[in-house]
Amino acid sequence: MANPTTNFGWVMPVAADLVTNLPAQFNTFGQGVDTSMAQLLGGSTSAILTKTSATNMAFTWSGLWTSFTLAGTGFTIGNGITHYCKYQKVGTTCNVMVDFQLQSTSSITGNIVLTLPLTSTSAQNQSNSGVCRYTLGATTYMGIVTLASTTTASLSAINASGTYASSTATSATIPATWANGDRFRVAFSYEVA
């Protein structure tokens, strides 16, 4: 048995080996292959296999949507309903979707700022990273999500009162006065640190 040049250093039988030694040699070879492939185990339906480093066979399963706890400033959760609060990490990209509905003890108290599920690389390089939709009563308003820091994202409303549309920070009265049953939905992406 020899160790010819292979990508993973697997010990493999060579032509000069005795036939009687082949079962043991294939066992050694198979164990090397099995050990090398260990990081490919697992995963779930729809998961994506991604590299974690430049090291050979350094992989992890990613891409599944994972729940996280809604948190931040400018709003009180109270007995509000978090219809959806999940993130998906694929490589170094984090996709986030949140759907929150106010109830009797929830409120919007200022600019809505959400805590990111994973730390971002830089807020300056990703100023506008997604969209918001605010449903207040029967009216729907649009907005943008802007990374405020490497750990937070700020929600703004689109202000259409000028010659050009601009964004303005959300508040208790922006885009309109918030009430029980109103909701905000956000979808945005950013680069993970």
Residues 85, 163 within the same domain: yes
The tens digit of pLDDT for each residue in 89-135 reads 988 889 999 999 999 999 999 999 999 999 998 766 556 689 999 99
Q: Which domain holds residue 132?
A: 68-191
Q: Are residues 29 and 74 in the same domain?
A: no
Instruction: Note whether residue 61 is domain-resident.
Output: no
**Least confident range of 147-151, 176-180, 182-186:** 147-151
Question: Structurally, how many domains does the chain consist of?
Answer: 2
Of 162, 98, 160, nearest to 130 by C-alpha is 98
Same domain, 10 and 85: no
Asked if residue 42 belongs to a domain, the reply is no
User: Is residue 91 domain-shared with residue 172, that is, in the same domain?
Assistant: yes
Q: The domain spanning residue 107 has which CATH number?
A: 2.60.90
User: What pLDDT, on the 0 to 100 scale, is given for residue 24?
Assistant: 78
Determine, yes or no, domain membership for 44.
no
55 within domain boundaries: no
DSSP H/E element including 26: helix 22-36
Residues 183/135, Cβ–Cβ less than 8 Å: yes
State whether 95 and 161 are in the same domain.
Answer: yes
In a domain, 45, yes or no: no
Is 53 part of a structural domain of the chain? no
Listed in sequence order, the residues at least 6 apart from 14 whose beta carbon sits closer than 8 Å to its beta carbon are: 1, 2, 4
- Is 70 exceeded by the pLDDT of residue 82? yes
Same domain, 22 and 113: no
pLDDT score of 22: 72
Give a yes or no: residue 129 inside a domain.
yes
Radius of gyration of the chain (CA): 26
The residues with which 76 forms a beta bridge, in sequence order, are 107
Is residue 1 domain-shared with residue 95, that is, in the same domain?
no
What does the pLDDT average to over 43-72? 81
- In the structure, what pLDDT confidence band is assigned to residue 11 with cuts at 50, 70 and 90? confident
Query: Do 26 and 102 belong to one domain?
Result: no
HSE, side-chain direction, 13 A CA sphere, residue 178: 27
**Run of H or E including 22:** helix 22-36
Mean pLDDT of 28-45: 73
Residue 80, pLDDT > 70, answer yes
The dihedrals phi and psi of 176, each to the nearest 5 degrees, come to -160, 180
DSSP assignment, residue 171?
B
Considering the domain architecture, whether residues 169 and 89 belong to the same structural domain is answered as yes
- Identify whether 57 is part of a domain: no
User: pTM of the full predicted structure?
Assistant: 0.76
